[in-house]
């Protein structure tokens, strides 16, 4: 049985199974102050960790983690997967919310079948700033993730670099995440809308 609260990896911060959290940060250095402890804590707890990066390469993440965990063992047991946005969000040259949801369903389903009791997923969202077909589906995708989360024992963390996204996009991002990590605190988000309600406002 899963506990009600799980350590995020940043001292004093907790999350609950099923949480969908957006983390806002001002620069790449602050991104890593969220991303690396989140993954490190999950690996130490025995969680499956699936990370998709966009503005860095997997090797940088491996290097940052390697000093604190037995990276070779984590990779051998397939406890840790770090992938690039090109191979996930844009695997066929464009973004499709349904295809990406299928990716998570397949990846996390395989983790559960492989014996992992809990999955931590994290995606760096700057891929949505590229001029690629389908990126306009970003916030629809974020809304639909909220329906997907109850399917498995999991948490999903979405990383947004504040200065690179427009205010309009960030407002919609807020509406699609029940919790927000900002300024060193995890907050219940008063602007969150349930998926059907949010999607109805988009059409």
pLDDT tens for each residue of 29-55: 899 999 999 999 999 999 999 999 999
Residue 203 has pLDDT above 80, yes or no: no
pLDDT digits (tens, 9 = 90+) for 140-170: 999 999 999 999 999 999 999 999 999 999 9
Average pLDDT over residues 102-110: 96
Residue 119 located in a structural domain: yes
Q: Does 11 reside within a domain?
A: no
Structure token pair of residue 35? 């991303």
Sign of CA dihedral 183, 202, 147, 79: negative
Q: Is residue 56 part of a domain?
A: yes
pLDDT at 147: 97
**Residue 12 lies inside a defined structural domain of this protein:** no
Domain count, the chain: 1
Place of tokens 């037995």: 70
With respect to residue 7, please indicate whether it lies within any of the assigned structural domains.
no
Which pLDDT does position 1 carry in this prediction?
75
Q: In the predicted model, is pLDDT for residue 25 greater than 90?
A: yes
> How far is residue 157 CA from its own chain's centroid?
3
Measured CA to CA in angstroms, residue 141 lies from 28, 53, 100, 134, 186 at distances of: 24, 17, 8, 11, 22
Q: Give the model's confidence band at 113: pLDDT under 50 very low, under 70 low, under 90 confident, else very high.
A: very high
Residue 17 lies in a domain: no
Of 104, 86, 108, which is closest to residue 95 (Cα–Cα)?
A: 86
Query: Per the domain annotation, does 10 fall within a domain?
Result: no
- Give the CATH number for residue 86: 3.40.50.300
Is residue 119 over pLDDT 90?
yes
Contact 9, 157 (CB under 8 A): no
Residue 191 makes CB contacts below 8 A (sequence gap 6+) with 171, 174, 175
Per the structure, the complete domain to which residue 194 belongs is given by 23-202
CA–CA separation, 99 vs 152, rounded Å?
Answer: 18
- Average pLDDT value for residue range 82-105: 94
């Amino acid at each position: 049985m899963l506990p009600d609260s799980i350590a995020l990896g940043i001292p004093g911060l907790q999350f609950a199974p099923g949480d969908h959290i957006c983390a806002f940060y001002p620069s790449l250095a602050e991104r890593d102050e969220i991303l690396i402890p989140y993954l490190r804590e999950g690996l130490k707890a025995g969680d499956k960790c699936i990370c998709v990066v966009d503005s860095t390469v997997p090797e940088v993440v491996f290097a940052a983690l390697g000093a604190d965990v037995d990276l070779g063992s984590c990779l051998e047991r397939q406890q840790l997967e770090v992938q690039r946005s090109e191979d996930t969000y844009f695997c066929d040259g464009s973004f499709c919310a349904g295809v990406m949801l299928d990716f998570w369903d397949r990846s996390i389903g395989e983790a559960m079948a492989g014996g992992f009791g809990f999955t931590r997923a994290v995606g760096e969202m700057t891929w949505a700033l590229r001029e690629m077909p389908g990126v306009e589906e970003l916030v629809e995708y974020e809304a639909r993730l909220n329906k997907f989360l109850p399917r498995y024992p999991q948490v999903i963390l979405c990383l947004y670099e504040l200065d690179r996204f427009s205010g309009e996009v960030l407002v919609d991002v807020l509406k699609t995440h029940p919790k927000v990590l900002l300024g060193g605190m995890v907050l219940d988000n008063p602007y969150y809308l349930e998926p059907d309600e949010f999607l109805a406002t988009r059409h």
